[in-house]
Structure 1
Amino acid sequence: MRRGWPAAPPWCYMKTDTWIRLDTLRRLPAVFLAVLVAATALFGACRGPLAAGADAVVATVNGQPVLESAVHQALLHDYGARTLARMIDEELVRQAAQVANLNPDPAQLELKMETALSRAGGEVAFEQSLAVQGLTRDEYRDRLALSLLLDLLALQVTTFSDEQIQAYYQAHRERFSYGEQARARLSLTSTRENAETLRSALAEGGDFAGLAQAFSEDPATRDKGGDMGWFERADFAPELSQVAFALRPGELSQVFQGPDGYYLLQVSEKRPAGQKPLESVREEILSDLRYRELPSARQRWIEQARRNVQIRIADPDLAAALRIQLQTAPPLGDLGLIPHS
């Protein structure tokens, strides 16, 4: 026994040489609170006699009593191992994240909360769902944060070889291909007269970028001197694309009417259909692979962490049940899922 600790502490389990108190972990749903009331069976230090009234009759069935101690014992063995396994997983994530100095991304956490609220059907339904699970909003947010931390921990130990990246690239060649592309500048005016005036100025050697900044009414390109960037035929309205792809590089279009007014286009470059180089889409491929691999990566991380954890439980039945839970339970159970209404 460590100096200064009470004779029968409410310890839950031990990771290496650190005892974890039940009362420092998050509050559990109501049904699990009943399990923890009976948690004196978990540890030899807490296996004293049942409190007064623990064997009170809580129900009768055709005159036969159902004792409170029997209810507690059934709850303990039905739910105790499942609950304890989840608590162990949660603590493993907390400890590892602290060592690695990891924190959940606030924007991602907020997005998860907004998604939960939306899926629950609004504020009232969300709060009701949390109440059924015995959780406050802050406690639910903490669970989401743990889920994000597990993602970070899992991805830290997940790598992909050049061969895997190349295979993904080859399997999705159509996605990384592009059609014929053009780059052009655009000027938009509300009247044909203004457009013709601009064209005359351009035909006499005027600078398209400067004139577009001064006179174009297109908010998307005006501040960029009319630059539309690289685009394919399907990226813009047919009226614009047909004109752009009919022009040669350096050629100025005639004034033509489009969806929002009168347009002038000048194509600066063109390039034929082709394939994006692997290096230009490497990060995109890695992001896709990580997303696809994440569920398996989470499972592997938890399984490895479970193999390394040291747990001491005095109750042999609970210990056996917990061993099965740690071998078969998914990582963190339902941690981070949207509450059920």
Structure 2
Amino acid sequence: MATVNGEPIRARELIQASYEWFAATAIEELILERVIEQEARAQRVTVSNAEVEARYKQQLQNAESQVPPGMSLDDFLKRNQFPPSRLFARIRSQLLVEKLVERQVNLDDFVEYSQLVIRIQGNTPEQQEENTPAAEAKAQEAYQKIKEGLDFAEAVKEYSEDPFSKDRGGKMNWQNLNFIVPDLRQKLQAMQPGEISEPFKMMGSIVIIRKERTGSQASPEEQQELREQAVRLQIGEYVRQLQAKAKITNTIVQPFDPTTAAPPGGPNAPRPPAARPVPR
């Protein structure tokens, strides 16, 4: 396999060292691949060689920019423990799990809305309590004008105190309902597209919102972006759930669940990092 001043390093030495040094990592990666493959078979999810090849070529192009001068791409990948076979296998697993997660995506978990925000002035709870009636009165004035026919976007420009959305007529980017504060989520879930809420208090402000669209009403291009975003958000938890329900034995290293293990040094000590999902 190699020589040093004529003295050989034999294959059996390399095999033994590779097993002792890297087996724990390799077996856990193989287990994860098998868990994903089994779930994909159960749900009749497949990926084609063409799909894997396309992502593989993309990954190689990304890696090329990191190769030091004088080193080949092949050697660079091997030195980083990513020979083509490992990279190909990982990409295949990634594509499978992406398709599995995409099956669970509900586009109507995404919502587009506009907001009119009146800040409650004050740096202390007492000051804010004192100034709440003034903010409520201003919001109620804006709401009344909207009811009388003033365009919502025009009302935002006239009344809103949120510098981030005011110039856009209050319109916010697509939001995932699962990651919106509960008060706002409940309001949006109870509303129909085009409906305008009465003023309500939220996070130190009095807010009026208009529900614009749900994900199923988005354009095809937007829907694809929303699906990809949902997959990115959900893939880690999905993989953890697959691992949790699988019956796994591992004689090389004991499975470790960082979410349940007590951290060294007592309950206030830092917890170890969470298990990583399959990398892209």
**What is the TM-score with the length of structure 1 in the denominator?**
0.38
TM-score normalised by the chain length of structure 2? 0.45
**Larger relative contact order (Cα-Cα within 8 Å, sequence gap ≥ 6):** 1
